[in-house]
């Protein structure tokens, strides 16, 4: 029986209302729980020092996104007096207050970790942060030169009041608020000085010693007299503004490119949703900023220590200090893509011999995905190359390869998602370059984001054509392919090829496929297909012949999918979930979810792959991989692609990945029924580690081929 077919389920009638709010965790608080796991890695003294600093930066940038994207929606609900509640039952006001309480506790911990542990530990290795007011000798002399030559010319102090309006303050910019008095007239005023970290960097290295850093705002603050000559500096402090960066493109937009460009212009002037202030800021300065920005007291967040630890990448990225970092890993060529003599294999021939799975960053992105596209460009028998672009990098060779294909006479099609949040400008730039080169560029569907990760190559063979397909769980971005764990399936299965051809026709033309042969495509049949697989597994389960469901994803939030998993648990099915980020499902509830376990792996690499495995007695495991998580936005508001894995070799490899994911004892947390995440304690002399084991496995596989 296949997904989509009717099924007379033998599930028992639920004893409890599966829509009861107590059965669901709140989305925003669950996301903060994920960020707490990142924070725990920053606090973990067994983690290499520079990696701990890196996790501080990641924690900060994660939190910024919560305030830029999620908080504005909650504030909008409050302002509009909307009473709607999510599956968890919390109102918007309750969520805002709960988020503030959690963030305050986490902020206190990370400030303590950075100031009391990481800064002294860095100093022990010769990496210092110098205070301009305490600098002496050569440090002081260079700070003076640095300010006069590089920083002072880039500063523009802006007076506030005395007939001058409050200046526009851009999103996430760092500023100094300065209280001034004219000693001749006694007139007091407020000024704002933007800290130009986007131009100069935030933590600046000194030329005479590149292991000595100075915070840009500290150096500016120490020289305020140069900016306001003749004025008395009464007070000063740092602050940072976060704005609403979310936007919608109307499904009635005539030109998606033009509509996105217009929304990007509007986003610069989004409402202020958060004001971060240094802990020492006076009450007077604080109130002046609150009044000027027209925000509530609860939108003010006090920060002990430096604001915006996301800029610590300036420190992490200095050269050297290998002993303070994780051992480097470079992706290795998947053995099936290596020829007998060690040369590059014919990827198309390897695919005809059976499906090929790559797992980044353990397997190289360049010698698999990039080479697949380049081979297609160079092959005179290839008629067409079609690719989706959600997020890519400026140095990606994939998009230029499409330009080469178009110039070589092939049909080149690129579906560019202009609405990929925070990558809109980069995608607009790529889209225009592609169009200029003759590539057929499609901007997607206004009401939906196209989140699919797919490449389709149409090749002339014999008296017909064959479809060669790559389906991935992650973006076609060589940079993130080195730090995100993602799967990619190379296949020339004819039915999948036909499905994906029809999906591209939907994206580029005017069609709505009524059904797909094998693929699960949102917003059409992905949710119902996964739910049907859950029901089939529950129906096949018995105590004598047990069934099992295992899933690995970024987030689990969709109420309908969660209820299906609850019903499977009630039927006795063992359900193992490995969820990196948000999890709204509450495990361990008697009569509902006592057969469900939830774990999360957070480590050196960002777990990003999506795997859905249904193991029923008497059948081969039914396994899917693809781009979509079980979240409402993925299932109903995006175009997503999830495909079955039917090659036995590939299935075994994915099951091995799942086994290692659930066995991790080093960077894994278990979710308890009360909502707490408890970190597993390493067991034995050589505790299991998913990411370490996969690095070692990749190295061992390559060694076997030499």
Cβ atoms of residues 1 and 538 within 8 Å: no
Find out whether the peptide bond into 429 is cis, omega within 30 degrees of 0: no
Distance of alpha carbon 166 from alpha carbon 191, whole angstroms:
9
Closest CA to 122 of 273, 321, 307, 305: 321
Of 75, 236, 451, 470, the active-site residue reads 451
> Largest Cα–Cα distance in the chain?
92
Distance of alpha carbon 10 from alpha carbon 113, whole angstroms:
53
Element containing residue 581 per DSSP (H, E): none
Residue 322 CA neighbour count, 13 Å, CB half: 3
Distance of alpha carbon 245 from alpha carbon 701, whole angstroms:
45
The sheet carrying 174-181 orders its strands as 158-160, 188-194, 174-181, 232-243, 272-278, 300-303
> What are the residues whose beta carbons fall under 8 Å from the beta carbon of 174, sequence distance 6 or more?
194, 195, 197, 202, 217, 238, 239, 240, 307, 308
b/e map of 182-208 (b: 16 or more CB within 10 Å)? eeeeeeebbbbbbbbbeeeebbbbbee
Helix, strand, coil percentages for the chain (3-state, nearest 5): 40, 25, 35
The sheet carrying 203-206 orders its strands as 128-129, 209-215, 203-206
b/e map of 140-170 (b: 16 or more CB within 10 Å)? eebbeebbeeebeeebeebebeeeeebeebe
Write out the two tokens for 406: 């178009």
Neighbours of 588 (CB within 10 A): 17
Distance of alpha carbon 481 from alpha carbon 487, whole angstroms:
10
Query: How far is C-alpha 277 from the chain's CA centre?
Result: 27
Cβ atoms of residues 462 and 437 within 8 Å: no
Cβ atoms of residues 630 and 603 within 8 Å: no
Coil vs helix vs strand at 2: coil
b/e map of 595-610 (b: 16 or more CB within 10 Å)? bbbbbbbbbbbbbbbb
467 catalytic? Reply is no
The residues assigned a catalytic role are 451
């Amino acid at each position: 029986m296949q997904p989509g077919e009717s099924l007379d389920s033998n599930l028992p009638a639920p004893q409890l209302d599966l829509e009861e709010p107590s059965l669901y965790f709140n989305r925003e608080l669950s996301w903060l729980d994920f960020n707490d796991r990142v924070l725990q890695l920053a606090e973990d003294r067994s983690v290499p020092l520079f990696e701990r600093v890196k996790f501080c930066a990641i924690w900060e940038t994660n939190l910024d996104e919560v305030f830029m994207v999620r908080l504005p929606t909650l504030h909008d609900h409050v302002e509009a007096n909307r009473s709607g509640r999510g599956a968890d039952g919390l109102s918007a006001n309750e969520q805002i207050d709960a988020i503030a309480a959690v963030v305050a506790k986490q902020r206190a911990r990370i400030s303590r970790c950075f100031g009391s542990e990481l800064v002294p530990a860095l100093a022990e290795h010769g990496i210092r942060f110098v205070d301009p007011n305490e600098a002496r000798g050569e440090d002081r002399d260079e700070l003076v030169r640095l300010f006069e030559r590089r920083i002072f010319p880039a500063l523009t102090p802006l007076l506030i009041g005395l007939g001058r309006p409050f200046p526009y303050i851009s999103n996430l910019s760092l500023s100094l608020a300065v209280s001034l008095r004219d000693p001749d007239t006694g007139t007091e005023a407020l000024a704002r000085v933007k800290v130009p970290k986007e131009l100069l960097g935030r933590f600046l290295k000194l030329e005479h010693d590149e292991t000595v850093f100075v915070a840009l705002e500290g150096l500016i603050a120490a020289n305020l007299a140069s900016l306001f000559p003749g004025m008395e500096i009464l007070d000063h402090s740092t602050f940072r503004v976060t704005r609403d960066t979310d936007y919608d493109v109307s499904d009635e937009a005539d030109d998606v490119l033009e509509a996105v460009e217009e929304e990007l212009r509007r986003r610069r002037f989004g409402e202020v949703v958060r004001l971060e202030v240094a802990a020492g800021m006076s009450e007077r300065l604080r109130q002046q900023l609150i009044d000027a920005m027209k925000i509530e007291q609860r939108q003010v967040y006090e920060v002990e220590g430096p604001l915006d630890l996301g800029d610590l990448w300036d420190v992490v990225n200095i050269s050297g200090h290998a002993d303070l970092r994780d051992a480097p890993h470079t992706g290795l060529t998947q053995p099936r893509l290596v020829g007998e003599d060690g040369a590059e294999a014919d990827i198309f021939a390897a695919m005809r011999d059976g499906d090929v799975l790559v797992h980044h960053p353990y397997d190289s992105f360049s010698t698999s995905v990039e080479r697949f596209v380049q081979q297609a460009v160079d092959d005179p028998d290839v008629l067409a190359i079609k690719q989706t672009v959600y997020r890519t990098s400026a140095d990606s060779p994939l998009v230029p390869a499409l330009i080469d294909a178009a110039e070589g006479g092939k049909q080149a099609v690129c579906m560019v998602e202009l609405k990929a949040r925070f990558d809109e400008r980069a995608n607009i730039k790529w889209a225009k370059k592609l169009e200029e080169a003759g590539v057929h560029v499609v901007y997607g569907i206004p009401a939906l984001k196209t989140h699919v990760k797919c490449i389709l190559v149409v090749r002339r063979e014999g008296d017909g054509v064959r479809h060669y397909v790559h389906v991935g769980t992650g973006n076609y971005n060589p940079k993130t392919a080195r730090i995100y764990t993602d799967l990619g399936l190379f296949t020339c299965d004819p039915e999948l090829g036909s499905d994906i051809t029809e999906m591209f026709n939907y994206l580029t033309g005017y069609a709505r496929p009524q059904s797909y042969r094998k693929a699960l495509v949102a917003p059409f049949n992905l949710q119902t297909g996964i739910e049907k697989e859950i029901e089939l597994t529950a129906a096949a389960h018995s105590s004598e012949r047990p069934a099992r469901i295992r899933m690995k994803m970024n987030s689990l939030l969709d109420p309908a999918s969660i209820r299906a998993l609850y019903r499977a648990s009630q039927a006795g099915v063992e359900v193992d979930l490995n969820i990196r980020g948000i999890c709204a499902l509450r495990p361990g509830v008697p009569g509902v979810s006592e057969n469900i376990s939830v774990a999360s792996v957070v480590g050196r690499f960002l777990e990003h792959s999506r795997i859905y495995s249904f193991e029923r007695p008497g059948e081969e495991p039914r396994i899917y991989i693809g781009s979509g998580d079980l979240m409402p936005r993925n299932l109903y508001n995006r175009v997503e692609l999830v495909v079955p894995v039917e090659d036995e070799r590939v299935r075994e490899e994915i099951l091995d990945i799942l086994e290692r994911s659930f066995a991790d004892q080093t960077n894994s947390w278990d979710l308890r029924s009360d909502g707490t995440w408890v970190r597993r304690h390493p067991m034995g002399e050589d505790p299991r580690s998913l990411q370490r084991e996969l690095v070692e496995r990749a190295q061992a596989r390559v060694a076997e081929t030499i």
